[in-house]
């Protein structure tokens, strides 16, 4: 039985494939026509093929449950998410603008702090920042870039407009799944690619390598780049291995490196010691160097911060970049863009109340059942409360937390996330809520992935898209209008 679009169960929000008049959105005409020619059985067979490919390729993610690490097959839905190239061009400009301003902001915080002196950014927010590293004060990294790699989360509202939901500047993850989603889709829907003008994204590893390598130039003609991983028990270890292989660089752990008397970083190899120029580190600041941060850390390298501060090695992202990876800082980004670039933000924030301001705190406490409340420095949805879905006891508990530490919380309205048709177990297509994480590189120049990692709430009506909490993913296509 072919798809009966007239019975498609629209939600109250914005569907990215179909308008409420059942006409396909800009750029989605080809996908709509293709899906209309497939029946349930064929779609389910394609989904089974995708699931088998994921298992056979070992595409996994890790869920931490009661202290145990559980590797699970990556959850993937075969129906791609389409965004027109006309829309994406604006998103791309907005992401580049945002990261440029954030890097200027980070550099200023570790320098003259002009933005605080000029009264644009509150000193108390910085004073209570968990991710400000006093050890980085006075540092001036190459090209003035602290966050070389950023993953910003985007959502679309009821009108279809893109908003930034949050920025991920410490150790952004997920790009390997974005690339694998494309690989799987090409395998199970090959004929669809022949009729669609989809922007490629498989150049990301090469772009990432170039961004890393150019940071060591011109001092080194052939810089040595390594990827530093916490090890096999890290939830993102699959991605660490994947990116190291795709870039053609060594995957190392802290025990594979040491800092010599000359403050250079060396890698131990069967051919002897080799100088390391650039470290793409996939572990948090506090585990980088036991001489400076956690003294009992076995994951980092003693002396690594000394080597970085003396310009003997480049760390990506730079230590201290996480000072801007704070949901309270997020609320000030439009002002940050205006202050450093003299421009209005191309991509707006989701409206945000900052609980550190008494009048905004009062509003949040009076409207908890209507709001989403987030702690400043958690990720993956942890510590978040969705007011309409929470109980009265949960509202009261959250109110107590906010009163105890108002600087640590923001609140936002419940965004009715846009939806994309998603295949159910019965073979029907139903709308499911999605967000999007594109990846932005900044070094000597800037680069934005053509699309990103679309995360989808697989449960009907759910707004939770995180894979660790039952969400899945989709391939994301940036499509040009057919010639």
Q: Is there a domain that residue 423 lies in?
A: no
CATH classification of the domain holding 387: 3.30.1490.270
| pLDDT tens per residue, range 9-66 | 888 889 999 998 889 998 899 999 999 998 889 999 999 999 999 998 888 777 655 4
Helix axis angle, 358-366 relative to 392-404, nearest 10°? 170
Q: Is there a domain that residue 420 lies in?
A: no
| pLDDT tens per residue, range 334-350 | 999 999 999 999 999 99
User: Which of residues 413, 428, 447 is at a domain's end?
Assistant: 413
Q: Is 67 a residue whose pLDDT tops 60? A: no
Domain shared by 385 and 298, yes or no? no
Q: Is 154 a residue whose pLDDT tops 60? A: yes
Domain shared by 188 and 255, yes or no? no
| pLDDT tens per residue, range 435-470 | 999 999 999 999 999 999 999 998 888 887 877 677
User: What was the pLDDT predicted at 72?
Assistant: 80
Q: Is there a domain that residue 426 lies in?
A: no
Q: From CA 186, how far away is CA 438, in angstroms rounded?
A: 20
Residue span of the structural domain in which 307 resides: 203-316
SS3 content of the chain, % helix, strand, coil (to 5): 35, 25, 40
Cα–Cα distances in Å, from 309 out to 182, 279, 291, 312, 359?
39, 14, 13, 8, 42
Q: Is there a domain that residue 422 lies in?
A: no
User: Which two tokens mark 420?
Assistant: 């994309």
Domain shared by 312 and 184, yes or no? no
User: Which of residues 293, 316, 339 is at a domain's end?
Assistant: 316
The dihedrals phi and psi of 57, each to the nearest 5 degrees, come to -85, -5
Domain shared by 176 and 228, yes or no? no
Domain shared by 99 and 177, yes or no? yes
User: What was the pLDDT predicted at 219?
Assistant: 65
CATH classification of the domain holding 214: 3.40.50.11290
Domain shared by 336 and 294, yes or no? no
Domain shared by 178 and 252, yes or no? no
Q: Is there a domain that residue 117 lies in?
A: yes
pLDDT-above-90 percentage for the chain:
77
Contacts from 394-403 at CB under 8 Å and sequence distance 24+?
Answer: 395/368, 395/369, 398/368, 398/373, 399/365, 399/368, 402/355, 402/361, 402/364, 402/365, 402/373, 403/365
Domain shared by 278 and 405, yes or no? no
Domain shared by 73 and 151, yes or no? yes
Q: Is there a domain that residue 428 lies in?
A: no
* Bridge partners of residue 300, in order along the sequence: none
Domain shared by 383 and 456, yes or no? no
Domain shared by 481 and 442, yes or no? yes
Element (H, E) at 456: strand 453-456
Number of structural domains in the chain? 3
Return all residues near 271 (Cβ < 8 A) that are at least 6 apart: none
User: What was the pLDDT predicted at 7?
Assistant: 87
Q: What is the mean pLDDT of residues 116-143?
A: 94
Q: Is there a domain that residue 429 lies in?
A: no
Q: Is there a domain that residue 368 lies in?
A: yes
User: What was the pLDDT predicted at 66?
Assistant: 46
Cα–Cα distances in Å, from 447 out to 84, 187, 334?
18, 27, 21
Domain shared by 196 and 238, yes or no? no
């Amino acid at each position: 039985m072919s798809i009966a679009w007239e019975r498609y169960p629209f939600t109250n929000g914005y569907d990215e494939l179909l308008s409420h008049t059942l006409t396909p959105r800009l750029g989605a005409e080809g996908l709509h026509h293709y899906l209309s020619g497939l029946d349930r059985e064929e779609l389910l067979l394609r989904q089974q093929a995708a699931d088998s490919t994921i298992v056979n390729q070992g595409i996994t993610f890790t869920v931490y449950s009661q202290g145990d690490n559980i590797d699970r097959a990556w959850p993937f839905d075969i129906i791609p998410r389409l965004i027109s190239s006309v829309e994406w061009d604006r998103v791309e400009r907005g992401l580049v603008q945002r990261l440029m301003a954030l890097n200027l902001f980070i550099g200023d915080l570790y320098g003259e702090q002009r933005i605080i002196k000029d009264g644009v950014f509150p000193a108390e927010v910085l004073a209570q920042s968990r991710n400000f590293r006093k050890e980085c004060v006075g540092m001036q990294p190459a090209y003035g870039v602290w966050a070389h790699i950023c993953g910003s989360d985007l959502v679309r509202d009821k009108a279809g407009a893109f908003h930034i939901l949050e920025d991920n500047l410490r150790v952004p993850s997920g790009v390997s799944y974005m690339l694998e989603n494309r690989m799987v889709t090409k395998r199970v829907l090959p004929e669809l690619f022949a009729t669609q003008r989809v922007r490629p994204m498989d150049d990301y590893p090469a772009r990432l390598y170039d961004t890393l390598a150019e940071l060591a130039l011109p001092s080194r003609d052939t810089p040595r780049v390594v990827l530093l991983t916490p090890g096999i028990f890290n939830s993102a270890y699959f991605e660490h291995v994947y990116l190291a292989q795709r870039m053609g660089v060594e995957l190392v752990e802290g025990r594979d490196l040491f800092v010599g008397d000359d403050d250079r970083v060396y890698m131990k190899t069967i051919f002897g010691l080799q100088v390391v120029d650039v470290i793409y580190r996939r572990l948090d600041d506090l585990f980088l160097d036991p001489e400076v941060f956690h003294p009992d850390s076995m994951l980092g390298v003693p002396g690594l911060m000394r080597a970085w501060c003396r310009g003997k090695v480049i760390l990506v992202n730079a230590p201290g970049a996480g000072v801007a990876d704070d949901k309270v800082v997020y609320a000030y980004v439009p002002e940050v863009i205006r202050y450093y670039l003299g421009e209005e933000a191309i991509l707006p924030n989701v409206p945000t109340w900052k609980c550190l301001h008494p009048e905004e705190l009062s509003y949040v406490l009076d409207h908890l059942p209507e709001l989403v409340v987030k702690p400043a420095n958690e990720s993956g949805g942890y510590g978040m409360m969705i007011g309409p879905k929470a109980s009265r006891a949960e509202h009261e508990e959250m109110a107590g937390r906010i009163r105890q530490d108002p600087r640590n919380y923001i609140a936002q309205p419940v965004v009715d996330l846009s939806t994309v048709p998603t295949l159910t177990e019965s073979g029907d297509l139903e709308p499911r809520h999605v967000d999007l994480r594109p990846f932005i590189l900044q070094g000597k120049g800037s680069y934005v992935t053509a699309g990103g990692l679309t995360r989808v709430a697989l449960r009907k009506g759910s707004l939770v898209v995180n894979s660790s909490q039952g969400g899945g993913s989709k391939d994301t296509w940036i499509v040009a209008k057919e010639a």
